Amino acid sequence: MKLVHLSDLHFPVALPFTSLKGKMIPGYLNYTFRRRKKYPISLWNAIVRKVKSLNPDAIVISGDITNVSHWKEYDESKKILEPVLGDKTFMIPGNHDRYTDIAAGKKGSDLPYFEKFFSSWMGESIPLKNGYLRIKKIGKLALVGWDSNMPLSVLNAYGYVGEEIVHSTLEYLEKEKLDEYILICHHPIWNPPERQESSGHKMKNREEIAELLKKRPPLAYLHGHVHTNWVKYPDPQKPYYVINSASSTRISDQRHQSGFHLMEWNQTELNIKRFSFSNEEGEFTETQTISYQEKETNGR
């Protein structure tokens, strides 16, 4: 089975400045003057070509389709994503997709914008008293989606996953006799020593969540949020791969080694390949995986 993991696409959608309110104004200004040129749509077109040539069994997108959760961003992003949307696609939201109360469905009775536009590719919603749990079954593998995002101040982008979500996930897997699963959540559960996150950016309770997952570890934890790629190999503290494919559509630089990953699973082992954009070829090509072994991380 082959899975492609994409994340933090941040499509370059121009917005009327007069339509922005509150937090969206500084957020969009930051995007326009600091980041927009780093996300040319040509990189997305190259991703589509490469993904089609890889012919994966599943395409996972771990959030941040938009920049400030504007309605127009969702409308345009759905059109841009159309070539990879289908039965094999599984998507979760990122913090930029829950940027405001309105977008996150916190005002009124409307659905969150992400669900309005992408519910067809978000998997089955598992009923819970509180929280978000979505699952998509592909062959003998279950893709499990969590939502670690919430509307915050412009200076914060931290995440949180309630412990009850972990318990509900493990109970559901046991009940449905789903032996193997991959967990998808936007915020990292681990960072390389040189890329540690501030308290305003990380998942607040990630060590508690990691401890609970030891009861029934996933094959891999896929995420985004930090815009450089890595793969952490299983260790005693986190006995599963941690794979970051952010930011798939960003031009790489000295601090951001961007791209996406292809995972090949033969039901006994997971083989991981990284693809990054080649300026010379104008295409995404296989390149060296940025990997962290247990001896390098000391179990952190």
**Would 124 be classed as within a structural domain?**
yes
| pLDDT attached to residue 297 | 46
- Domain harbouring 98, CATH code: 3.60.21.10
Q: pLDDT 10s per residue in the chain (300 long)?
A: 999 999 999 999 999 989 999 999 999 998 888 888 999 999 999 999 999 999 999 999 999 999 999 999 999 999 999 999 999 999 999 999 999 999 999 876 688 999 999 999 999 999 888 889 999 999 889 999 999 999 999 889 999 999 999 999 999 999 999 999 999 999 999 999 999 999 999 999 999 999 999 999 999 999 999 999 999 999 999 999 999 999 999 999 989 999 999 999 998 899 999 999 999 999 999 999 999 975 454 443
**Would 112 be classed as within a structural domain?**
yes
**Would 297 be classed as within a structural domain?**
no
Rounded distance between C-alpha atoms, residue 291 and residue 280, angstroms: 25
For 268, residues 6+ apart whose C-beta sits below 8 A from its C-beta are: none
Burial class of residue 165, CB neighbours in 10 A (0-12, 13-18, 19+): buried
**Would 161 be classed as within a structural domain?**
yes
DSSP assignment string, the chain: -EEEEE----------GGG--TTHHHHHHHIIIIIGGG--HHHHHHHHHHHHHH--SEEEEES---SS--HHHHHHHHHHHGGG-STTEEEE--GGGG-STTTTT-STTPPPHHHHHHGGGS-EEPP-SSS-EEEEEETTEEEEEE-------TT---B---HHHHHHHHHHHHHTT--EEEEE-SS-S---GGGPPPTTTSBTTHHHHHHHHTTS--SEEEE-SSSS-EEEPP-SSS-SEEEE---TTSPP-SS----EEEEEE-SS-EEEEEEEEETTTTEEEEE---EE-HHHHTT-
Range of the domain at 107: 2-292
- Number of other CB atoms surrounding residue 93 within 10 Å: 29
Per residue in 206-228, pLDDT tens? 999 999 999 999 999 999 999 99
**Would 298 be classed as within a structural domain?**
no
- Tell me the torsion sign for CA atoms 206, 209, 211, 216: negative
The vertex-177 CA angle with 174 and 180, nearest 5°, equals 90
Contact 8, 39 (CB under 8 A): no
**Would 227 be classed as within a structural domain?**
yes
Phi, psi of 173 (to 5 degrees): -60, -40
**Would 299 be classed as within a structural domain?**
no
**Would 300 be classed as within a structural domain?**
no
Rounded distance between C-alpha atoms, residue 191 and residue 286, angstroms: 23
Count of domains for the chain: 1
